[in-house]
């Protein structure tokens, strides 16, 4: 499973990218707005930090303007994935950009039927939002299971399942068991994956025992 980090905070991205765990980045207008910086400047900087796909979202809602915005975003760097909404105009834009060789991330997916449409439109990634479904008392993880099952039935579907709106590590591990291709994680959730009380307790015990020896690995 690939890990994308879901943020527009370039310092966070640099820190996490240094671990070797980050395969790409997803952004959206809300995340970039929090940075207080110009959208295109932030996106271009992120593209220089990571080698993998960087999702940058269009802000238009009509096909003609979406396509213009998508082409401009794609021109920023070769690792841009243009993010479009799962609407008729968004899918039309997805088809045009995909045919031109641009990676496309179709976002705001909430049903298996929508995911089928995105795959047929040539999307590189489909982004089902599990947390937002959970918020309305719907099983978000069932959507991931359904999409993975459907995509696996058809060799011609090359779209990768990018699990979005992840709220906690359980979302991630369940998605991994279902065979999802990508998880995009807020930095805080990615860091939670390190944590386990038995790891902390074990390390503390090892260090206490080592200190009793009075030795240092770096001593001559």
Residues 40-67: tens digit of each pLDDT = 999 999 999 999 999 999 999 999 999 9
Assigned domain for 218 exists: no
pLDDT for residue 123? 98
Residue 177: DSSP 8-state: H
Assigned domain for 69 exists: yes
pLDDT for residue 205? 97
Distance of alpha carbon 24 from alpha carbon 182, whole angstroms: 9
Give helix 112-120 / helix 140-152 axis angle, nearest 10°. 40
How many structural domains does the chain have? 1
Assigned domain for 20 exists: yes
The CA–CA distances, whole Å, from 146 to 111, 141, 171 equal 9, 9, 15
pLDDT for residue 29? 83
- Give the count of beta carbons closer than 10 Å to the beta carbon of residue 38: 10
Averaged pLDDT score across all residues of the chain:
96
Regions of the chain with pLDDT less than 70: 220
pLDDT for residue 103? 98
Q: Which domain holds residue 116?
A: 2-210
Beta strands in the chain (DSSP E): 2-6, 24-26, 54-57, 80-85, 103-109, 125-128, 160-163, 182-185
Assigned domain for 216 exists: no
* pTM flag (> 0.75): yes
Assigned domain for 152 exists: yes
Distance of alpha carbon 214 from alpha carbon 205, whole angstroms: 15
pLDDT for residue 35? 84
Assigned domain for 217 exists: no
Assigned domain for 51 exists: yes
pLDDT for residue 7? 95
Assigned domain for 215 exists: no
Distance of alpha carbon 130 from alpha carbon 115, whole angstroms: 13
For residue 100, give the CATH number of its domain.
3.20.20.70
Query: Which of 199, 212, 127, 141 has the alpha carbon at shortest distance from 170?
Result: 141
- Among this protein's residues, is 83 annotated catalytic? yes
Pick the catalytic residue from 68, 71, 72, 83. 83
């Amino acid at each position: 499973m690939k890990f994308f980090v879901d943020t527009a905070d370039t310092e966070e991205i640099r820190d996490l990218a240094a671990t070797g765990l980050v395969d790409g980045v997803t952004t959206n207008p809300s995340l970039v707005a929090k940075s207080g910086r110009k959208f295109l400047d932030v996106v271009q900087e992120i593209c220089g930090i990571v080698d993998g796909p960087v999702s940058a979202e269009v802000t238009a809602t009509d096909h003609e303007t979406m396509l213009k915005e998508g082409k401009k975003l794609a021109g920023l760097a070769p690792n841009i994935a243009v993010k479009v909404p799962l609407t008729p105009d968004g899918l039309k834009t997805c088809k045009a950009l995909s045919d031109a060789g641009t990676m496309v991330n179709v976002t705001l997916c909430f049903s298996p039927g929508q995911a089928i449409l995105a795959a047929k439109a040539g999307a590189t990634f489909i982004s089902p939002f599990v947390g937002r479904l959970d918020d309305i008392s719907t099983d978000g993880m069932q959507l991931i299971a359904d999409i993975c099952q459907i995509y696996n039935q058809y060799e011609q579907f090359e779209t990768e399942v990018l699990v979005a709106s992840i709220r906690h590590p359980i979302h991630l591990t369940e998605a991994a068991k279902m065979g999802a291709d990508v998880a995009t994680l807020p930095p805080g959730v990615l860091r939670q994956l390190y944590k386990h009380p038995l790891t902390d307790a074990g390390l503390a015990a090892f260090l206490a025992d080592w200190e009793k020896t009075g030795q240092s690995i770096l001593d001559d």
